[in-house]
A = this chain, B = another copy of it.
Amino acid sequence: MNANPPRTRIQKKNRSTILDAALEVFSRHGFRGATLDQIAGEAGLSKPNLLYYFPSKEAIFITLLSGLMETWLDPLRELDPSGEPIEELLAYVRRKLQLSRDFPRESRLFANEIVQGAPRMEHLLATDLKSLVDEKAGVIRGWIAEGQIADVDPHHLIFSVWALTQHYADFDVQVRAVLGPGHDPLAEAETFLDTLFRRLLAP
């Protein structure tokens, strides 16, 4: 059996080239909408060559998803129970918004998968994601009990952060179409969301 981490440097380079190309293509067209030929073209490799590094199209997709889940959860993981509640939550919003700015393809990849019922991800959602959210919801509930922030449902508070921040990555075309030219949606969103959450959370 081969150890999972690639051995040679050429393997390392090609695997990451493929994953980057796959991210580009999958995030634009979804799993079924993407083709191996597109990914191969984007990566500058031949199709059989892709399948030398990954056993199947689905394997590429799953590798991508699980590698990204970590990045995606990190901002919430960093929420510090011993920090100042309101500033902690606002910092979380900013980190999440930063992901929408820096990794829109990753965001759209997740969105695509979840909108279609997360057939290849439901497990991760019900385990990793749920346990992290439940833990942090507990922290927030503590802050509420201490009267440090307003009384709102912690789970739905977290959902609202996801919805509001990811909207700017996932629905980027719509946002830009409505705003017209001459806007920096993400910059405006940062101000707006800061206001929104300050007003919502003020005790």
Q: State the A residues within 8 Å of B (CB).
A: 28-33, 108, 111-112, 114-118, 122, 125-126, 129-130, 133-134, 150, 152-153, 155-157, 159-160, 162-164, 166-168, 170-171, 173-175, 177-180, 188-189, 191-192, 195-196, 199-200, 202
Contacts and interface: CB of A to CB of B under 8 A. Distances in A.
A188 B137 CA distance: 15
A120 B138 CA distance: 43
Nearest to A109: B115
| Majority-rule SS of A interface residues | helix
Contact of A152 (B111, B114, B180, B192): B192
B112 A177 contact: no
Contacts of A196: 152, 160, 196, 200
26 contacts: A28-B117, A30-B32, A32-B32, A33-B116, A111-B171, A112-B112, A114-B170, A118-B177, A125-B173, A125-B174, A125-B178, A130-B177, A133-B178, A134-B178, A152-B196, A155-B179, A156-B189, A157-B192, A159-B178, A159-B189, A160-B164, A160-B167, A162-B167, A163-B166, A164-B164, A195-B200
Nearest to A137: B178
B174 A118 contact: yes
Nearest to A162: B167
